[in-house]
Amino acid sequence: MELPDPFLPGAISLLDQLDKRMMVMLRDGKTLIGDLRTIDQFANLVLHNTLERIYVDSYYGDIPRGMFLIRGENVVLAGELTEDEPKSLTKVPLEEILRMQKEKQEEKEERDKARRRILSGRGFVSIIVWNRLIAAAPGKALNFRIFQQFLQHSKLAARKMSTESTGPRKHNVVFVLGPPGSGKGTQCAKIQQNFGFVHLSAGDLLRAERKREGSEFGELIETHIKNGSIVPVEITCKLIENAMLASGDAQGFLVDGFPRNKNNLEGWQKEMNDKTKVHFVLYLAAPLDVCVGRCLGRSEGRVDDNEETMQKRIVTYNEQTMPIIDYYRGLGLVRQISSEPGPDEVFVSVEKVFTEAGFNSQ
């Protein structure tokens, strides 16, 4: 086999990268970025103008480290850096990224504690208990009393495992989407009556929270509703989750008018994916002029049922909600029904969709 001339085997091949900007990942998880000044046969590196880069989700921040000597045995990955600042991530100040890193670490520690508690309850720490009993015994000698204690712990753990729930049951969810005035509320009422689902209108929940005395979100919700814009996802998800918990052991939930945009979708997936199962999206389609006429013709006293706000809501729907429907369509989860006919005629099609999905009418 012919080798390139000159052939530089192993770590010394990085000599070609001298004075270039490098990214180095270490065994302890740290990521360093700096100018490579020297390297030896043991892959010991010296970086100049070094930054320690911290990543948290889609954010990052840098800590200046100056000249940095790295032992080769600690290097996991090293390579030339083509761009110093990743375009797909958002850079935040050092104090902010350190705060986010701390919160992430605390979340991980809480998850680890919960995992250990579950494993302990299922008998997986018996060997730990055994070792502790041995260590506590006089002279660390194995005797019948220690063995009895070990067996007792194992039996208790096994009994707890047999009676322990496998985890919280996920709520059945159907998203109900469509333009303003497409009849989502009307059809949800019929589904609730015939299939025993609980209707959760994101809009109604927000309006109720806006009116609730002492609400910390009331003023913010009021502003968004008047402007025809979308309320932050954290608020909406929290209100939906609270309503689900308050509904007890319901057969399922109709989440009406949510998710309305990408931020809503990402928030739902982050906060609710492990608590719910989305069976499908009921998409009620109707011409926009029909929807506008319905909204302007209803007399519910809603501040967002006026022509100016309706135009804003329609623009928001076309730009932000339709891509969500297309996303679920790509997953094969959209059940589209024309809501232009009368409510009873529309419900005939809706009823068929729910029956085919395995939900029996009551």
Residues 6+ apart with CB under 8 A from 325: 177, 281, 283, 334
Q: How far is residue 203's CA from residue 225's CA, in Å, rounded to a whole number? A: 9
Does 93 show up as a binding residue in the annotation? Answer: no
Task: Report how far apart, in Å, the C-alpha atoms of 288 and of each of 81, 188, 291, 306, 315 are.
Answer: 50, 20, 5, 15, 11
Residue length of the chain = 362
Cα–Cα dist 59/100, whole Å: 9
315 among the known binding-site residues?
Answer: no
- CA triplet 306, 312, 315: central angle to 5 degrees? 135
183 annotated as a binding-site residue: yes
Q: Would the annotation count 185 as a binding residue?
A: yes
Q: Is 259 annotated as a binding residue?
A: yes
Read off φ and ψ for residue 211, nearest 5 degrees. Answer: -85, -15
Q: Are strands 90-91 and 75-80 parallel, antiparallel or unpaired?
A: unpaired
| Chain CA centroid to CA 335, Å | 24
- 71 annotated as ligand-binding: no
Q: Is 181 annotated as a binding residue?
A: yes
The answer to whether 174 is a known ligand-binding residue is no
Distance of CA 256 to the CA centre of its chain: 20
**Is 7 within any annotated ligand binding site?**
no
| Residue 167 in marked binding region | no
58 belongs to an annotated ligand binding site: no
| Residue from 219, 188, 200, 203 nearest 321 by CA | 203
User: Binding residue per annotation — 349?
Assistant: no
Phi and psi, residue 232, nearest 5°:
-50, 140
Known binding residue 184? Answer is yes
127 annotated to a ligand binding site: no
Helix (H) or strand (E) holding 48: strand 45-56
Cis preceding-peptide flag for 6 (omega within 30 of 0): yes
Task: Give every strand in the sheet of 45-56, ordered side by side.
Answer: 75-80, 21-26, 31-39, 45-56, 59-70, 90-91
Interatomic CA distance for residues 47 and 72, integer angstroms: 12
First to last CA, the chain: 77
- 168 marked as binding residue: no
6 is in an annotated binding site: no
* Cβ pair 32, 68 in contact under 8 A: yes
65 labeled part of a ligand binding site: no
Q: Is 182 annotated as a binding residue?
A: yes
**264 is known to lie in a ligand binding site:** yes
Annotated binding site for CMP: 264
Annotated binding site for ATP: 181-186, 298, 341
Annotated binding site for a ribonucleoside 5'-phosphate: 207, 229-231, 257-260, 302, 313
Annotated binding site: 181-186, 207, 229-231, 257-260, 264, 298, 302, 313, 341
